Amino acid sequence: MHTDIGHATVGCRIDKKLVPLRTPLESGKTIHIIKSRDAQPNPAWLNFVTTAKARSQIRHFMKNQKVGDAVNLGHKMLAKSLRKFNMSYEGLTDEMRGELIEVLKLSSWDQLLEDLGSGNRMSPLVAKQIHDVVLGTDDKIAPRNLGLEAGLPISGTEGMVLHFANCCHPIPGDQIVGFISTEKGLVIHRNSCHNVKNLKNNPEKYLDVHWDEHATGTYLVDIQLEAKNQRGTLAKIASEIAKTNTDIERVSSEDKDESYSSMHFVINVRDRIHLAKVMRHLKLLPIVEKIQRL
């Protein structure tokens, strides 16, 4: 499509369904590009665009983006996002600005606006952070310990409270989307989560997010097994999981019939590679008939 359209893109629908911009296209699909006057290319797009021309145009735009223009654009983008929280940009006090700058570890307010205008930060997230400052809920904007050794799991979410949805338990390597919640901050779901379909009815709260390449720590994930009913089956499976340096958070079991049991494990893994290793080990056990991630 035309470069000017690409520069103004904020989202897209495939066959009338809102999807992340990184979604691969298939022949025969109907594509609807969502544009905004205040939009501009995001450096993160370089991680998934597939043509040399697209990469070249994005880099060209970033190279020629002047600081003053980026600050002005960031101002407009933030003002628009604040209106969705029934707030105005003009109503921000020096105290509010100072608190947010301190949390984000920036040198000035203009640096924040420049980051927004350059696509290095997401204006809906910053607006949500400001909203929490106004409410006086400082704990909602303070960085949270997510069990990480270092770094943030989701790019561009400094100072934002993150929640990983219990309905789908996303882990690094999964395709993900984010939704802004007044109560929970930024909630991360897997693209394939059944709850995402309902959440996409509110596109203003929908964010195309991605894992930070240096994300560390462990994340919960659900796996279900069908295993033969034998003495010590549960112990053998738990022992095999332990051999992969994986902690078990919860486990439940019920008889499916006289011969088989259905077992549900919630385990801590680092990413999809770690999960695949665990599942490979379990598949090698003669007592395991079937295994799947829920």
Compute CA 233 distance to the chain's CA centroid, rounded to the nearest angstrom.
37
Q: In the prediction, which pLDDT does 282 show? A: 92
Unique residue bearing structure tokens 């006086």: 136
Alpha carbon separation from 264 to 149, 168, 252 (Å, rounded)? 28, 14, 5
Structure tokens belonging to residue 262 = 């259905």
Q: Identify the domain boundary among 139, 159, 185.
A: 139
Round to whole Å and give the CA distance between 61 and 40: 9
- What is the pTM (predicted TM-score) of this model? 0.56
| Largest pairwise CA distance in the chain | 72
Question: Residue 212 contacts by C-beta under 8 Å, 6 or more apart in sequence?
Answer: 151, 152, 153, 154, 155
Domains in the chain, number: 4
Over the stretch 42-55, which tens digit does the pLDDT of each residue have?
A: 767 777 788 888 87
CATH code of 224's domain? 3.30.70.260
Domain assignment of residue 277, given as a range: 219-293
Same domain, 75 and 32: no
Same domain, 127 and 166: no
Over the stretch 109-137, which tens digit does the pLDDT of each residue have?
A: 988 888 787 666 777 778 877 877 666 55
Same domain, 99 and 125: yes
Burial class (CB in 10 A: 0-12, 13-18, 19+), 277: middle
Q: In the prediction, which pLDDT does 143 show? A: 36
Q: Identify the domain boundary among 119, 139, 159.
A: 139
Q: Identify the domain boundary among 18, 41, 64.
A: 64
The phi, psi pair for 204, rounded to 5°, reads: -70, -15
